[in-house]
């Protein structure tokens, strides 16, 4: 089947997803907009024409044992209002970043994550991003920074025990405070 998006949830709370594959869609593999109190396990979104997963105003949703690989844009793009989410994730070989927050986001925990071979950075904070923690991530073989905190409005981002290897520009750019 040919879909614009693999699946879209809008204005949904108290949901659970387990073992879903959303592959080769002409837009995103998964879009969550104004969603909260969810539980996502084993979501696999490879080879989509935009992002593997696009998040907008998503709160308190853990993503466990998920992957978004070989997408035309980002593996995961948090567009705005992504708060209190947890990512245990693989986001590799995407044409932009593995995981990218492009606008206001808060208190996300990215842990035990594998981010390799993305054309842009591994993990990116583009605009206001506050109180995030990255712990135990493997960030390798990106064409720019392993982790790019690209804006002075990103505050209190904690990075614990990362493993960096072969990131072309460098391991970490931290323009935040």
Please state, for a pLDDT cut of 90, what percent of the chain lies above it.
Answer: 97
30-52 pLDDT per residue, tens = 999 999 999 999 999 999 999 99
Q: What is the pLDDT of residue 127?
A: 86
Average pLDDT over the chain reads 96
What is the arithmetic mean of pLDDT over 82-91?
98
Distances (CA, A) of 166 to 37, 89, 142, 143, 160: 37, 20, 7, 9, 19
pLDDT at 3 over 80: no
Q: Provide CB contacts within 8 A for 61, sequence distance 6+.
A: 32, 35, 36, 37, 38, 39, 40, 85, 86
Instruction: With cut-offs at 50, 70 and 90, classify the pLDDT of residue 1.
Output: low
Rounded CA separation 74/82 (Å): 16
């Amino acid at each position: 089947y040919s879909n614009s998006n693999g699946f879209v949830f809008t204005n949904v709370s108290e949901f659970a997803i387990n073992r879903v594959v959303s592959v080769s869609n002409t837009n995103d593999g998964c879009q969550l907009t104004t969603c909260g109190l969810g539980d996502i396990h084993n979501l696999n979104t490879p080879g989509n024409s935009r992002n593997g997963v696009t998040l907008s105003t998503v709160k308190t949703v853990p993503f466990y044992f998920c992957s978004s690989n070989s997408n035309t844009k980002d593996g995961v793009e948090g567009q705005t209002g992504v708060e209190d989410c947890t990512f245990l994730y693989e986001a590799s070989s995407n044409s932009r970043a593995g995981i990218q927050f492009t606008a206001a986001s808060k208190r996300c925990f990215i842990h035990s994550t594998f981010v390799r071979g993305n054309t842009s950075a591994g993990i990116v904070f583009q605009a206001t991003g506050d109180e995030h923690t990255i712990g135990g991530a493997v960030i390798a073989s990106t064409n720019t920074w392993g982790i790019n905190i690209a804006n002075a409005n990103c505050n209190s981002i904690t990075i614990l025990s990362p493993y960096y290897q072969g990131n072309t520009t460098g391991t970490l750019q931290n323009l935040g405070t």
